[in-house]
Amino acid sequence: MNLPLGIHVGERLSLEQTYWQAEFADQNGFESVWVAEGRLARDGIVPAAIIASRTRNVKIGTGVVNNKSRNAALMAVTFKTLDEVAPGRAILGIGAWWEPLATKVGQPLTKPIASMREYITVLQSFFRNELVDFEGEFVQMRGVRFDSMYRENKPVHVPIYIGAVGPKMLELAGEISDGVHMDFLLPPSYLAGARAAIDRGIAKRTDGKQEIDLTQIVSCSVNDKDPQEAIDACKAFLTLYLCQQPHIAEHCGVERELVDRLQEIAGWPATPEDIKRAMQLVPNSLVQNVTACGSTDDAYQKLMSYHEAGVRSPIISTLGDKEQTLTRLAQAAKA
């Protein structure tokens, strides 16, 4: 492929669609498959393991799991196991959990930077096959390591990517991780500040590493016969997110006044009819600023704009006609 691409699969897809997309990616030169973990919609580890067993070439990343719901030792051995299924292909994508869900299940999101630093420090010790002693505010380990009675215990290479958006988490990623896995609905212009934050972190590294990887999920929809239909698929998605997670507005350049108007129309929980009425207030230009949609050429050129802004590998998240979107963009990337 002329542009290194990945795909993002999550609860918006059926499991049948998920496995089809993963196998398509494996057979058509895609670099990676990233499995989302919805709030309480679908676990990310089970599909990732099944994808790992059904593929031979693509890397399998979590996009992302959180650092609250699984003990760090269990997370480490989970990815050690995934690496057994798909040697050298597992990537641990990890981020902070979501509020208010984290609080509702007894794991409130406090000091997210400090807790992420502790969690990743412990994971890296496990992956190096060390005896782990760690007394942190959030993570405690007392003389534990990978336990293998029947096989040789040895280090495992599992890159860790942080799902970061804000400048402090991006800086931490630059300092301690192997990569950043950025969320969707961020415009290419956001990358300038993001890369500056990552570089501040890289300057603090003690391992001599001078760069880390950067991937970003991009919502995509393609329809060459009716480009507006593809745009509308992304528009509905953006409208839903602005209504339900209004904090994204500041990152994707949306005025608070528009968010307020959208929320007046589409309450919580919003119905599809609510979203259809509210999305009429969202201009095409805004949608096309934060997604890749329209004709195949329009969408592919937008993916290229992310790449040119510093994203090494754009990660396609399909909307609208999902099969058409994925196949057309794959063809464009090979051209």
pLDDT of residue 71: 96
Q: Where are the domains of the chain?
A: 6-221+292-334
| Mean pLDDT along residues 118-141 | 98
Overall pTM > 0.85: yes
Main-chain phi, psi angles of 167, to 5 degrees: -60, -35
Superfamily of domain 6-221+292-334: Luciferase-like domain (3.20.20.30)
Contact 194, 172 (CB under 8 A): no
pLDDT of residue 149: 78
pLDDT of residue 152: 85
Contact 44, 19 (CB under 8 A): no
| Mean pLDDT along residues 314-327 | 98
Name the token pair of 329. Answer: 């963009």
The pLDDT tens digits of the residues spanning 173-187 come to 999 999 999 999 999
Spell 38-66 as b/e; 16+ CB within 10 A means b.
eeeebebbebbbbbbeebeebbbbbbbbb
Q: Residue 99: pLDDT above 90?
A: no
User: What is the C-alpha separation between 107 and 119, in angstroms, rounded?
Assistant: 14
Q: Which has more pLDDT, 97 or 267?
A: 97
Q: Residue 83: pLDDT above 90?
A: yes
| Mean pLDDT along residues 325-334 | 96
Share of the chain above pLDDT 90, in %: 85
pLDDT band for position 286 (cuts 50, 70, 90): very high
| Mean pLDDT along residues 33-62 | 95
pLDDT band for position 207 (cuts 50, 70, 90): very high
pLDDT band for position 253 (cuts 50, 70, 90): confident
Q: Is the dihedral of CA 276, 282, 288, 291 positive or negative?
A: negative
pLDDT of residue 211: 96
pLDDT of residue 206: 93
pLDDT of residue 150: 84
Q: Which has more pLDDT, 106 or 149?
A: 106
